[in-house]
Structure formats: structure tokens, C-alpha cells
Amino acid sequence: MYKRIQLNITAILFGIFIYFWLKISLYYLFNSGSSALILEMQTPRWIFFVFRYSIFILTPLLPIGTYTILNIFKIKRPIKQLFYAILSILIAIPISVILLKISNHKGAHNYIHSIKSGYIIPLIVISIGLMLIKKKSTKSMKSL
């Protein structure tokens, strides 16, 4: 039980880290107008670049972080599950944009609107959930 509590606390802290870093990254990436100009003038160029484009590292980091946390707590998962999770999270981005377009969502049909409207959230949860699927035991199948 203590191991499960540690696992959950670690996962929550990882989620909080990703949430705040994603919030900063999206702010720098999609800020526009005069506030974007002021932000760009006040921020050193390399920091602006790191914050702006870190979203492309954060997206696959979700399943990688989940895989690492599971391995730290001795819950071994095959590496192909990690590959499938990363692939599905990268596929979730265009699928959520297509769902926005199909549903005639007001506003643009792009990544930021798929996040703001929540269309991408279930797809991301499913992709992370791919890490938790276990292979069926063949012993139980033989007993049936």
C-alpha cells in the first residue's frame, strides 16, 4: 500500500510539472499582438525559444515519464507499449483537430483550440493508458 501511495504522489508531481511547463510553453507559443512583442523584447532570445518550442518535447514526454515512473516502482512494461503510447499521442494531435473541424467548432481548427476545447484530453488519457494494459495470461485461458 505504501508503494502505491508513493507511485501516486510521484505521478501527481510529474503531472503538475507537465501542466505548468505546458502552460508556459503554450503562452509563449500562441501569444500574439502587442503583449507578444513586449514579451519577446523582455525575454532573452534563447529563453524565448526554449519556452516557445518546448511543447514539442513535452508532448512525447507524457508517455515517457509515465513509463519511467512505472519502471522506477518496478512495474515493468514492454518498450513496445512506450512506442505505441508515443505514436498514439502524436496521432492524437491531428485527430483532435479533425474532430474540431467535423463538429463545426467556433474558432480556428488548430492545436491550441483542441487543447482549449478539451478534444485532445481523452485521446491523451487513452495514449497514456496504453502503458497500463497488461498482456492476458495464457494460463487463465487454458483453465476455461
pLDDT tens-digit profile of 55-104?
888 888 888 999 999 899 988 888 998 999 989 988 988 898 888 888 87
Sign of CA dihedral 61, 66, 69, 74: negative
Q: Would you tell me how many other CB atoms lie within 10 Å of the CB of residue 38? A: 11
pTM of the model: 0.74
pLDDT score for 13: 94
Provide the residue ranges of all domains of the chain, joining segments of one domain with +: 2-133
| Residue-averaged pLDDT of the chain | 84
- Binned at pLDDT 50, 70 and 90, residue 136 comes out as low
